[in-house]
Structure 1
């Protein structure tokens, strides 16, 4: 089992012993209000989406914009926030690094520093006390698991505690470009929501075209991506296959593979967090790994940590523990 190594080469265990606390005070009320706003409104848009499609309000342009912005912001999270910024699965030039930070911010899942701090904390305390979104924190009874599922999927976002960025992301705070992009998160939010509307309005030359593009490629796209990402925290820590020995209870859930761009091959990820490819077994589609491969071929990414046969052999689980 691979031990998560923090910036500077220290392990998570060593990091826990340092003076810096795990949490960094309470979230300001304004920040908590924004979490509610950008979680609830896209979700309501998703609920309203079904009746809105019945005979009006949806065009091929809306679908194209929604798919395009879904994968733009989605790869920003999976390739950028997750595999690059959190786990350093590859190295990137300055332009790619900044571009990934901006694209990930357009998913409306928080700024890059906060997202990475939460995720590094998740790996340091996977499915134990300190994990911000484990479904196993309340016990194993049906009621406790139901509560845990909601907490892991969505409830944890409304907690008041904030992960200590100085402890978990000192490398990002020291990067002036990334620190600036993180502070500009409200700007990327506005661009993410209004860019589809602007394109829709210009193509159709109508306010209605702008509105439907805003609804589908803005709000609904954000809501779908939110729930797919949250499913990795909840579903992929509760049910599925465990072919590799991993920290915590991370599993593989194949139905989510395409929508999550390869993130639902979560068991290997927790077994080997720095690996650039999560879907390593035959038939496991991992679009994020393919994007990293393309970036490597273009010369924008290098020193990619691809899986090797010997590395995977050391992580293979006992067959008696391969499902859950």
Structure 2
């Protein structure tokens, strides 16, 4: 399948719920507290656990830098960091995002499981929770109900600065839970994805264990293992997290908007992030046409995620790919 199909059913249901439950919003005021878009509150311990997950790479980085002060990073550390950044980052963009959230393609079972495992190793949450949250973001983009809009506190200078912090990392500490039963029932019904979701803590440990073990195997010393853990583990995790969070924050505040989106949706294209985000920062087109498998549709727009999907399609690992149709793209372009 080379054309576009209807919205992914669970996401479409979320959008219909958003239309029914959305609170009145003028596009400039702070979001009202509570209301129809709010869900059950998470326990306080969950916010504390999130703080540990977010802070851990930086605390560990400071400790490792102190222990390894005066040591130089080696080519093996760089190679391992680049390789693991690509594997885990594409697990998020190909697997979590374009595949499982938006149904841009259908993956064979081994590919589906492999993508879910790779994305889980990015330390960005379990696959089912990630997908549910992102579908909710699309259902309520930049209006009450959006879990990480930078306009949550209004459009004044102070409000946008506060909103930028919220959209980037502050929303992770919110006790507002997104129910997977509403936004990801298809994933909850998949035993493979439920198993990967339960294994999330162990996959995070594996994500750090692989570079440490590889560093030991290559260098044969504790020093080699620690430098590999530092650069290919901790620094790689922190960088990928902040690139992903920058799509939530910067790509709704800075950049161009060549395509029309829904009312109040301010998603932008931000080219400096294109390579590091594997094409996710062509965010304006994505919000104009969420199920499209390619986000960088214009000339010179680098989209490594789309290239990987194309390769997987040629190898028979995915099918029913929703590639952009020129006529459909042009109907969404601003005059």
TM-score by length of structure 2 reads 0.88
Distance 2:203 2:52 in 1: 16
More displaced 10-residue stretch of structure 1: 203-212 or 142-151: 203-212
Match of 2:259 in 1: 244
**Correspondences of 1:54-65 after superposition (within 5 Å):** 55-65=70-80
Moved over 2 A (4+): 2-11, 14-18, 21-34, 43-55
* Aligned match for 1:120, one of 135, 147, 155: 135
Q: Is residue 2:170 matched to residue 1:152? A: no
Query: CA, structure 1 residues 251+146, in 2 after alignment: closer, same or farther (shift >3 Å)?
Result: same
- Name the structure 2 match of 1:139: 154
Query: In the alignment, is residue 31 of structure 1 matched against residue 34 of structure 2?
Result: no
Where does residue 284 of structure 1 map in the other structure?
Answer: 301
Q: Which deviates the most, 39-48 or 122-131?
A: 39-48
Shift of residue 217, structure 1, vs aligned partner: 0.8
Distance, in Å, in 2 between the alignment partners of 1:154 and 1:209 is 32
How far, CA to CA, are the matches of 2:179 and 2:38 in structure 1?
Answer: 5
Query: Which string of whole-angstrom CA distances, capped at 9 and with x for unpartnered residues, describes residues 244-303 of structure 1?
Result: 001310000000000000000000000000000000000000000000000000000001
Residue 308 (structure 1) aligns with: 325
Give the 3-state SS of the residue equivalent to 1:280 in structure 2.
coil
Cα 1:165/1:16, change in 2 over 3 Å? farther
| Distance 1:267-1:170 versus aligned 2 partners, 3 A rule | same
Quote the residue 2:247 is aligned against. Answer: 232
Q: Which runs of 5+ in 2 are unaligned?
A: 22-35
Aligned to 1:264: 281
Unaligned runs of 5+ in 1: 319-324
CA drift of 1:179 comes to 0.7
CA RMSD of aligned residues (A): 2.2
Distance 1:13 1:222, change over 3 A: same
The alpha-carbon distance between structure 1 residues 132 and 4, as it changes in their structure 2 partners (threshold 3 A), is farther
Decide which moves more: 256-265 or 53-62. Answer: 53-62
C-alpha contact (below 8 Å) 1:246/1:270 kept by paired residues: yes
Judged with a 3 Å threshold, the aligned counterparts in structure 2 of structure 1 residues 8 and 289 are, in CA distance, closer, same or farther, namely closer
Find the counterpart in structure 2 of residue 108 from structure 1. Answer: 123
Say if 1:295 and 1:53 are closer, same or farther in 2 by CA, change over 3 A: farther
